Structure 1
Amino acid sequence: MKKPKKIIVVDFGGVGDLVLSIPFLRGLKTAFPSTEVSVLCADRAGMILKEQSYINRLFLSPITLLGLFKTGLQLRKKRFDMAINLMPETSYFSAIKMYLLFLLINARQWVGRNTEGRGFFYDIKVPEQKMQIENEVLLYGRILKTISNEDFEKRLELPCSEANKKRAGALLSRERKLRKYPFVLVNPGADWPAKRWPIERYAELVKRLKESFPHCEFGIIGTQAEGELAHFLKEAVGDRVFILSGKTPLEILPAVMEKACLAITNDSGPAHIARAVGTPVVILAGPSAPAFFTIQGRKESHVIYHPVSCAPCLKVSCDTMSCWQAISVQEVVEVVSKMLERKINEINN
């Protein structure tokens, strides 16, 4: 295969998906060092890739038909040799939208995942028999192997610039009252309700951790739209809790998480950010596929997951929440306590 001069990588996933794409982007640049690599992603999540050295150009687009149409016409002028879609074709409707976008971009070669046969329009099809079975990083590795015959290092990383570290430090100085204490970050939110451990259980968890660790603070992170969850926790738990929800721009969130001694989170973007920046993390994975976490991060991570007959699933909401009911507060307290004790001993020594 002739080496492409210009590649556009399309990834309209969330923050976590983009973090998981970094090993692929690093490997792509290693396989094609002289190739100009551009990335197209959703404007709501794409800032997480802003400072990645493996990307020559970053394009952000709203995920609306009009937004994608305008972006496609803009990218058409760039005359890409290859377009690669990293995301699965979750339905025939999503496949048709991607087909139309690729028509607009008009790259010479189209590459993508043939998810359950829905990637029929790609020139180079990477087989995917069923969604949420294979780790995304490993699947991206198969894409790179197909187009370059090269493997890549599957290490997660997310470097933070000095400027963003300073911004993160200033934010924490403003919001924290007990700055000499180590702090734990708690993320009770996720993109949709079915991916959230019940907020009442988060409240009970933080209450019990406060009692066991009197010299720790607890910070609540999340989007502005998840502010209600943060305020519920603050009111339920009381002192030694500070709210960062809606106050942490995406580009400085990695630097904020890097400063925490531990993170507790649902399966969402912050789970992967913590693993990439080297913060120990406990991940609650109710309906998620545990295969997503088989690639180790830079520090200790522990995934709490109990298989149920209906998981993994992609439901936005759920009446039974049986996967979440299987995860008790006591189980999470025990896992977090062991990890937090080790981390505090490490800090003190």
Structure 2
Amino acid sequence: ASRRWPAERFGDAAARLAPLFDGIAVTGSAGERALVDAVCERAGPRAVPLAGELPLGELGALIETADLLLSNNSGPVHLAAALGTPVVDLYALTNPQHTPWRVPHRALNVDVPCRNCYRSVCNQPGHPCLLGVGVDDVVAATHALLRGSERHALRAAARAAAHDDEPAAANASNVIPFAHVTTRS
């Protein structure tokens, strides 16, 4: 839990970002169902709870089709990087070598004296490196990533065409634009 951004902040960020996407997939393990449900409740009707629903291959397929991944620094972040999906990474400052690479990304944290501690569990009260990151920071980082994303621009154009023109909607039917929020720590 010390390396996890709060569910209510994920939900609030997702709610503010929802107008940019057709849907928001919220994933986590079966044991994180309550966290995923809390995120979805705050995120609104475009959020789809998928706690414990996706085996690794399907999670990879979802991430690969996503416009971006918003996540704690966990396995899905590295999967997204391998698949070329842009990442907004809520990064507890444990090991700077574990941030995404070779993919557009923003690693968000607050500089603290214990940075690069290499610990898997934070011993600092209140976990300041993550809790200092606000919803506004995540929204701004997401907008910055999407501004430079050809992937998002193409999908946004397909969505706009689908809403304006019925024949264009048939051509855009394979576009599944989701932001992905994972609660895994």
* Distance 1:248-1:330 versus aligned 2 partners, 3 A rule: same
- Provide the TM-score with structure 1 as the length reference: 0.41
Instruction: Tell me which residue corresponds to 1:344.
Output: 152
Task: Quote the RMSD (CA, aligned, Å).
Answer: 2.0
What aligned pairs does 1:179-198 form with structure 2 within 5 A after superposition? 193-198=1-6
Task: Tell me the matched-pair count.
Answer: 153
Give how far 1:328 is off: 1.5
Alpha-carbon distance in structure 2 between the residues aligned to 1:248 and 1:303: 25
Of 296, 301, 312, the match for 2:105: 301
Contact 2:11 2:41 in 1 (8 A): no
Which structure 2 segments of 5+ residues have no match? 159-185
Contact 1:280 1:300 in 2 (8 A): yes
Instruction: Tell me which residue corresponds to 2:164.
Output: none
What aligned pairs does 1:58-137 form with structure 2 within 5 A after superposition? none
SS of match in other structure, 1:230: helix
With a CA cutoff of 8 Å and minimum separation of 6, indicate the structure with the bigger relative contact order.
2
Give how far 1:316 is off: 5.9
Alpha-carbon distance in structure 2 between the residues aligned to 1:253 and 1:238: 22
Larger radius of gyration: 1
Alpha-carbon distance in structure 2 between the residues aligned to 1:222 and 1:277: 19
Instruction: Tell me which residue corresponds to 1:326.
Output: 132
SS of match in other structure, 2:101: coil
Instruction: Tell me which residue corresponds to 2:25.
Output: 219
Q: State the identity %.
A: 28
Give how far 1:290 is off: 2.1
Alpha-carbon distance in structure 2 between the residues aligned to 1:234 and 1:332: 17
* Distance 1:306-1:275 versus aligned 2 partners, 3 A rule: same
- Provide the TM-score with structure 2 as the length reference: 0.74
SS of match in other structure, 2:24: strand
SS of match in other structure, 2:13: helix
Alpha-carbon distance in structure 2 between the residues aligned to 1:317 and 1:200: 22
SS of match in other structure, 1:195: coil
Instruction: Tell me which residue corresponds to 2:181.
Output: none
Instruction: Tell me which residue corresponds to 1:259.
Output: 65
Contact 2:110 2:128 in 1 (8 A): no
Which is helix-richer, 1 or 2? Answer: 2
- Would you say 1:282 and 2:100 are equivalent positions? no
1:298-330 Cα offsets, whole Å, 9 max, x none, are x31221133211233322675321111221111
The code of the aligned residue for 2:25 comes to: G
Contact 1:226 1:245 in 2 (8 A): yes
* Distance 1:306-1:239 versus aligned 2 partners, 3 A rule: same
Alpha-carbon distance in structure 2 between the residues aligned to 1:305 and 1:235: 25
SS of match in other structure, 2:53: coil
Instruction: Tell me which residue corresponds to 1:37.
Output: none
SS of match in other structure, 2:69: strand
Instruction: Tell me which residue corresponds to 1:209.
Output: 17
- Would you say 1:236 and 2:33 are equivalent positions? no
Contact 1:194 1:287 in 2 (8 A): no
